[in-house]
């Protein structure tokens, strides 16, 4: 297994674990691998002490593994910024190109990019760029339900517990990176009246608790 | 008449030259357009197990007979909600020659979403750009020609409420229908990466294209699979090639997720919104930003303080209208009926069946029974429907739902439930039909049960009439207080007993719109017709059965089996128990019958109920009459709206509750 593949897997494992513990099957699905290929890969990561399997059969990154994953993510996102900001590539294209660059960038080039781009905090898609020590400074998010009348924010994520609801909300335009303005709070701590573009919705409080927002840019 | 969708669509398609489907977001004026285009002969149909209905009608335009399928108003078409599923299924089954998508010019970007979905499915489209007058008031101008160019489909500006542009719309739609097949497919363009994945999956779809239930293009199917559409994924899972295709779709969806950091359905939705936004910004210009009066008024109905004040006024008005105007009309109706219809019916029965027991029994059914249905139907149901249609069409119902959502949540209901609950104070029957504004079966069961407990005007009349003998307003107030406590307790209990917690509220809010009288009238009429056809037969049969028991004298034999409960537990005279049995027909009958039977049994002085009943007994009598099964018409409507099983369950429950509470209250009263 090449070091490039290891980096890819670490990156995938890290991203998946952001939304909860990861099972081998989910990893295989995410990477489009067969179960056997995924098993072999997990075995390899464990032998390299980059990952471990806990009692519940979840796969967790070790400290070393996390650091390596964040290093790759940092290179990927710095490359993306470089490709979009300096070279003017479209976002989607930038992602693809950055997937290749992330594996060949040396620490010197990485530092150079960081200086050139003025130490950017996030990639073009809004995801945070880990710093040199592997520390991720995420923009603080809070549930939409914490916002008061006349406050606004940008949807950071919607809880994925209920995929059908997630799909439904997306068809209404309630999805990440969309600006949302709270116009009114229903009486007795009731639902929220929100505005998205030209549309207005009443959102139940329970639902608003599952929508995380960050500060508007 | 409720038909199954397949049958209804096939029937229409056999009779017409072209079929048009009307689609679009809720509240864009689609039903106004439908009503303008069609006459009174509308069929409603629904898919088995679904409550969302389709309206189907025919019309003639330029010598072409055209069938029109009015799809439910939805923000999108897909599998995530019942209305979206019905909308999609109906276009797939109906295979219309043209889909007319009505879009709201004041909120173009969101409305273009469903347009892009229809383009994905590959249907020939015509856009009706509606509410251009409202948009202009907001300072928004839309370049319809450019919109048509960007989307590749004809766009016709309309103001449906005034009938503006409808002729041009139909002309365009007929033209498109005539050239069907020659219109180049002009699908949505996603970004290059996504397009590549769609093409990749299309190859797989073409290889495995069997087993899919519908004749959709391979591109349409690929997009549906990438959107993780359950129905199509399940269809694929049925064959070996399908499962291979599914595995491929899974892989490609994972690729999309990896590329865009979001699950593939969200990612595709996002791209569509992106595109809709870009198109909107290219075709619309905002000249000034000004809040129209209707919007200011609307905002005051959702603001916490003014909103609650307005709500209290509207609910009081609704209650007062049903209570006073309804009972006035009801009295007038009964009076006129007894002067005109009764003698005729009586004469006919006398001619056919003579004057014996049979004739008297028939009289119960044909005279009292039919009068009971119309006596509830015309004064209460018709007026309520009219008021409800106004509340719905102006958009006020949504403000109400917003304001009361939190309180209703305690009962597992959404804010919209407040309207039927309050309407229940007028008459339970329209109120229960009104629970259709609720989206889940669970909510409808809870709301319907609570409505049966809300004292309707007939029961209030008994409370006031019976307690007038006792004197003072306090006993009547005490009954209302007891019932209120019961409603709250039952509501909270049901919410904790019934499985599944209520889903989150997501509801579009839109500023007030001027409702069209035509569509309000039509809506009222259709609902009224439904009520009459559902309630009439049951009330009729119930009347005949009870009438037979009365006329044969069999009724007196019923007092013995009822004695342990009526006399033993409730402490009421046997005669009172019999009248409660009859009040199932019409609640206000309880008191009239009590006086009649008492006179038969105890002699003329029993006209004053206190001669044979104590004040406590009258109190328990009125309380019992208020809580137990509403009336036959209500049971019929419960069965129609929910199911016979649930209707019987709710009715039994209310009888048990009334018995339990009545007995307890009687024992508490004897302590004083």
Quick check: B543 pLDDT over 70? yes
* Interface check A100 vs B, CB under 8 A: no
Contact state of B76 with A171 under an 8 Å Cβ cutoff: yes
H or E segment to which residue A193 belongs: strand A192-196
CA distances from B405 to A192, A216, B485, B507 (A): 10, 28, 20, 11
CB proximity list for B618: less than 8 A, separation 6 or greater: B466, B467, B469, B470, B609, B610
Question: Would A126 be classed as within a structural domain?
Answer: no
| Residues in A touching B228 (Cβ below 8 Å) | 163, 167
Does the pLDDT of residue B1 top 60, yes or no?
no
Place B184 in a pLDDT band, splitting at 50, 70 and 90: low
Tell me whether residue A70 is in a domain: no
Indicate the residue of B265, B405, B509 with minimum beta-carbon distance to A201: B509
Q: Rounded to whole angstroms, what are the CA distances from A206 to A172, A215, B231, B532?
A: 18, 21, 28, 40
Domain with CATH 3.40.50.300 in chain B: 2-178
Stretch A164-170: mean pLDDT, rounded? 79
Domain-embedded: residue A94: no
Q: Which domain holds residue A9?
A: 3-61
| CA distance, residue A183 to nearest chain B CA (Å) | 9
Rounded Cα distance, B461 and B326, in Å:
12
**pLDDT of res. B537:** 81
Report the alpha-carbon distance of residue B421 to residue B428 in Å, rounded.
9
Reduced to 3 states (helix: H, G, I; strand: E, B; else coil), residue B661 is: helix
Checking if the pLDDT of A85 tops 90, the result is no
CB contact under 8 A, B508 and A191: no
B139 phi/psi in degrees, rounded to 5: 85, 20
- Report residue B645's pLDDT band, with 50, 70 and 90 as the boundaries: very high
Top-confidence residue, A20 or A208: A208
Q: Given A160, A164, A198, which is nearest B106 (Cβ)?
A: A198
Q: Which of residues 60-79 of A touch B (CB under 8 A)?
A: none
A18 Cα to chain B: minimum distance (Å): 12
Look at residue A143 and give its three-state secondary structure.
Answer: strand
CA distance B265 to chain A (A): 6
User: Which residues touch B470 (CB under 8 Å, ≥6 apart)?
Assistant: B610, B615, B618, B619
Note whether B18 and B66 are within 8 A (CB): yes
- pLDDT tens figures, B514-534: 787 887 888 788 778 877 877
pLDDT beyond 90 at B169: yes
Cβ distance B263 to A96 under 8 Å?
Answer: no
Q: What is the pLDDT of residue B492?
A: 92
Residue A106 in any domain: the answer is no
A12 interfacial to chain B (CB closer than 8 Å): yes
How many CB atoms are closer than 10 A to CB B120?
Answer: 23
The residue among A126, A158, A191 with the most chain B CBs within 10 A of its CB, best to mutate, is: A191
The DSSP line for B27-67 is TSSHHHHHHHHS-S--EEEE-TT----EEEEEEEETTEEEE
Look up tokens 């006035």; give the residue: B328
Length of chain A: 217
A 10 A CB-CB count for B29 gives: 25
Of B113, B406, B504, the CB nearest to A186: B406
B654 CB burial (10 A radius; 0-12, 13-18, 19+): buried
CATH number, span B192-286: 1.10.287.1770
Using a 10 angstrom Cβ sphere, with 0-12 exposed, 13-18 middle and 19 or more buried, the burial of residue A152 is middle
* pLDDT higher than 90, residue B68: yes
Which of A19, A193, A202, A203 should be substituted to probe chain B, the one whose Cβ sees the most B Cβ atoms within 10 Å?
A: A202
CATH placement of domain B2-178: 3.40.50.300
Contact A171 B78 (CB under 8 A): yes
Contacts A80 to B, Cβ<8 Å: none
pLDDT greater than 60 at residue B88: yes
Residues of A in contact with B255 (CB under 8 A): 32
DSSP for B549-607? HHHTTGGGGGHHHHHIIIIIIS---HHHHHHHHHTTT-TTHHHHHHHHHHHHHH-GGGG
pLDDT band at B105, cuts 50/70/90?
very high
The pLDDT of residue B603 is above 80: no
Collect all residues with Cβ–Cβ distance below 8 Å to B211 and sequence separation of at least 6. B235, B236, B238, B239, B241, B242
pLDDT tens for B498-512 read 877 666 778 888 778
**Nearest CB partner across the interface for A167, out of B80, B110, B406:** B80
Show residues of chain A in contact with B250, CB under 8 Å. 29
* C-beta atoms of A190 and B405 within 8 A: yes
pLDDT in tens, B115-124: 999 998 888 8
A160 contacts in chain B (CB < 8 Å): 263
B604-638 pLDDT, tens per residue? Answer: 777 777 887 888 998 999 999 999 977 888 998 89
Instruction: For residue A173, give the nearest of B261, B273, B504 by CB distance.
Output: B273
A92 touches chain B (CB under 8 A): yes
What is the average per-residue pLDDT within A132-140?
A: 76
Contact B403 A165 (CB under 8 A): no
Task: Report yes or no on A7 lying in a domain.
Answer: yes
Neighbours of B594 (CB within 10 A): 28
Select the residue of B75, B109, B505 nearest A202 (Cβ to Cβ): B505
Chain B residues in contact with A31 (beta carbon < 8 A): 254
Q: pLDDT at position B520, please? A: 85
Q: Would you call B269 and A207 a contact, using CB atoms and an 8 Å cutoff?
A: no
Average pLDDT over residues B299-313: 90
H or E segment and range at residue B69: strand B64-70
Q: Do B406 and A207 touch (CB under 8 A)?
A: no
Q: Distance from CA of residue B669 to its chain's centroid?
A: 42
The residue in chain B having the minimum alpha-carbon distance to the alpha carbon of residue A189 is B406
A127: contact with B, CB 8 A cutoff: yes
pLDDT tens digits, B424-441: 877 788 789 888 778 788
**Looking at residue B380, what is its pLDDT?**
76
Contact indicator for A51, A59 with CB cutoff of 8 Å: yes
Residues of A in contact with B78 (CB under 8 A): 167, 171
A34 in a domain, yes or no?
Answer: yes
Give the mean model confidence (pLDDT) for residues B271-288.
Answer: 85
Q: Say what the pLDDT of residue B187 is.
A: 66
Instruction: Write out chain A residues lying below 8 Å of B299, CB-based.
Output: 184
Q: Which pLDDT tens digit goes with each residue over B130-165? A: 999 888 888 889 999 999 998 989 999 999 888 899
Using alpha carbons, list the distances in angstroms from residue B337 to B84, B375, B380. Answer: 46, 9, 16
Let me know if residue A54 belongs to a domain.
yes
Can you spell out the DSSP letters for B183-196? SPP------HHHHH
Number of domains observed in the structure of chain A: 2
Asked if B250's CB is within 8 angstroms of A165's CB, the reply is no
Question: Which CATH number covers residue A44?
Answer: 1.10.10.10
- What's the mean per-residue pLDDT of chain B? 84
CA gap A162, A207 in Å, rounded: 11
CB < 8 Å to B135, chain A: none
Residues spanned by CATH 1.10.287.1770 within chain B? Answer: 192-286
Closest CA to B445 of B649, B141, B657, B151: B649
Of the candidates B81, B254, B269, which has its C-beta nearest A32's C-beta?
A: B254
Q: Does A181 touch chain B (CB under 8 A)?
A: no
Q: Best of B24, B286, B402, B411 to disrupt the A interface by mutation (most A CBs within 10 Å)? A: B402
B392-419 residue pLDDT tens: 788 888 888 889 888 888 888 888 788 8
Question: Nearest CB to A200: which of B227, B415, B510?
Answer: B510
Answer whether residue A160 is part of any domain: yes
Cα(B273)–Cα(B271) distance, rounded to whole angstroms?
5
Longest dimension (CA), chain B: 93
**Direct distance between the N- and C-terminal alpha carbons of chain B, in angstroms, rounded to an integer:** 57
Chain CA centroid to CA A192, Å? 27
CB contact, 8 Å: A163 with chain B?
A: yes
Q: What is the mean pLDDT of residues B234-255?
A: 83
Contact B509 A189 (CB under 8 A): no
The answer to whether the Cβ–Cβ distance between A167 and B405 falls below 8 Å is no
CA distance A164 to chain B (A): 6
pTM of the model as a whole: 0.71
- What chain B residue is nearest to A199 in terms of C-alpha separation? B107
What local confidence, expressed as pLDDT, does residue B143 receive? 94
Q: Tell me the ipTM for this assembly.
A: 0.73
Cβ pair B403:A186 closer than 8 A: yes
Residues of A in contact with B512 (CB under 8 A): none
Alpha carbons A159 and B391: distance in angstroms, whole number: 34
Nearest chain A CA: its distance from B94 CA (Å): 24
| CB-nearest partner of B505 from A31, A93, A191 | A191
Q: How many CB pairs under 8 A join A and B?
A: 150
B193 and A92 in contact by Cβ < 8 A?
yes
């Amino acid at each position: 297994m090449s070091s490039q593949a290891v980096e890819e897997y670490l990156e995938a494992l890290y991203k998946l674990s952001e939304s909860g513990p990861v099972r081998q099957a989910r990893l295989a699905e995410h990477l489009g691998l067969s179960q056997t290929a995924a098993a072999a890969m997990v075995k390899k990561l464990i032998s390299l002490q980059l990952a471990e399997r806990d009692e519940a059969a979840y796969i967790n990154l070790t400290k070393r593994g996390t650091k390596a994953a964040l290093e790759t993510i940092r290179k990927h996102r710095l490359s993306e910024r470089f490709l979009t900001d300096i070279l003017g590539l479209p976002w989607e294209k930038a992602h693809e190109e950055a997937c290749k660059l992330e594996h060949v960038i040396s620490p010197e080039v990485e530092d150079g990019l960081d200086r050139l781009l003025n130490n950017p905090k996030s990639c073009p898609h809004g995801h945070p760029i880990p710093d040199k020590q592997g520390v991720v400074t995420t923009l603080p998010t809070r549930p939409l339900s914490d916002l008061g009348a006349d406050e606004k924010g940008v949807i950071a994520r919607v809880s994925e517990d209920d995929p059908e609801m997630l799909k439904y909300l997306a068809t209404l335009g309630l999805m990440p990176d969309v600006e949302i303005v709270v116009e009114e709070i229903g009486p007795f701590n009731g639902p929220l009246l929100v505005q998205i573009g030209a549309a207005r919705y009443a959102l139940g409080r329970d639902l608003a608790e599952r929508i995380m927002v960050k500060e508007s840019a | 008449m409720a038909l199954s969708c397949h049958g209804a669509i096939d029937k229409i398609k056999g009779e017409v030259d072209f079929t048009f489907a009307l689609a679009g977001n809720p509240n864009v004026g689609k039903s106004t357009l439908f009503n303008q285009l069609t006459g009174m002969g509308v069929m409603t149909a629904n898919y088995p197990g679904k409550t969302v209905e389709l309206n189907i009608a025919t019309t003639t335009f330029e010598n072409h007979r055209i069938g029109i399928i009015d799809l439910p108003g939805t923000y999108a078409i897909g599998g995530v909600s019942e209305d979206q599923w019905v909308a999609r299924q109906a276009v797939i089954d109906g295979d219309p020659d043209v889909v007319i998508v009505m879009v709201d010019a004041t909120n173009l970007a969101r409305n273009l979403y469903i347009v892009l979905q229809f383009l994905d499915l590959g249907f020939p489209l015509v856009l009706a750009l509606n509410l251009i007058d409202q948009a202009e008031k907001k300072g928004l101008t839309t370049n319809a020609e450019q919109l048509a160019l960007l989307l590749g489909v004809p766009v016709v500006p309309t103001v449906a409420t005034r009938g503006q542009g409808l002729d041009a719309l139909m002309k365009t739609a007929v033209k498109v229908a005539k050239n069907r097949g020659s219109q180049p497919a002009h699908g949505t363009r996603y970004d290059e990466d996504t397009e590549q994945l769609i093409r990749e999956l299309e190859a797989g779809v073409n290889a495995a294209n069997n087993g899919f239930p519908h004749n959709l293009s391979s591109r349409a199917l690929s997009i549906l699979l990438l959107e993780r559409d359950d129905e199509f994924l399940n269809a694929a899972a049925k064959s070996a090639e399908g499962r291979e295709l599914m595995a491929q779709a899974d892989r490609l969806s994972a690729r999309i997720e990896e590329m865009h950091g979001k699950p593939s359905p969200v990612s595709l939705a996002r791209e569509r919104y992106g595109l809709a936004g870009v198109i909107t910004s290219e075709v619309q210009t905002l000249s000034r930003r000004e809040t129209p009066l209707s919007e200011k008024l609307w905002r005051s109905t959702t603001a916490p303080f003014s909103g609650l004040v307005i709500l209290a006024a509207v609910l009081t008005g609704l209650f007062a209208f049903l209570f006073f105007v309804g009972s006035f009309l009801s009295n007038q109706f009964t009076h006129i009926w007894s002067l005109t219809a009764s003698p005729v019916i009586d004469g006919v029965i006398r001619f056919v069946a003579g004057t014996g027991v049979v004739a008297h029994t028939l009289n119960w059914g044909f005279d009292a029974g039919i009068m009971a249905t119309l006596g509830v139907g015309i004064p209460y149901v018709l007026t309520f429907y009219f008021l409800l249609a106004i509340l719905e069409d102006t958009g006020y119902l949504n403000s109400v739902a917003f304001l009361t959502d939190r309180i209703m949540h305690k009962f597992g209901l959404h804010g919209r439930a407040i309207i039927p609950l309050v309407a229940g104070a007028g008459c339970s029957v329209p109120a229960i039909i009104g629970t259709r504004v609720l989206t889940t079966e669970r909510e409808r069961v809870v709301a319907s049960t609570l409505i049966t407990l809300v004292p309707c005007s007939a029961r209030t009349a008994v409370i006031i009439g019976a307690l007038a003998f006792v004197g003072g307003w306090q006993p009547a107030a005490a009954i209302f207080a007891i019932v209120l406590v019961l409603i709250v307790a039952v509501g909270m209990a049901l919410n904790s007993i019934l499985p599944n917690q209520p889903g989150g509220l997501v509801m579009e809010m839109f500023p007030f719109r001027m409702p069209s009288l035509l569509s309000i009238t039509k809506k009222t009429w259709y609902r009224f017709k439904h009520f009459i056809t559902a309630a009439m037969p049951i009330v009729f049969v119930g009347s005949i059965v009870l009438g037979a028991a009365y006329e044969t004298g069999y009724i007196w034999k019923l007092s013995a089996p009822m004695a342990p409960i009526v006399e033993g537990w409730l402490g009421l005279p046997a005669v009172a128990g019999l009248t409660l049995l009859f009040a199932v027909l019409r609640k206000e009958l309880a008191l009239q019958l009590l006086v009649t039977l008492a006179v038969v049994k105890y002699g003329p002085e029993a006209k004053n109920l206190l001669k044979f009943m104590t004040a406590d007994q009258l109190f328990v009598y009125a309380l019992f009459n208020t809580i137990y099964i509403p009336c036959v018409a209500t049971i019929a409507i419960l069965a129609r709206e929910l199911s016979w099983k649930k209707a019987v369950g709710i009715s039994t429950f209310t009888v048990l509750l009334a018995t339990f509470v009545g007995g307890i209250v009687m024992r508490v009263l004897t302590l004083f």
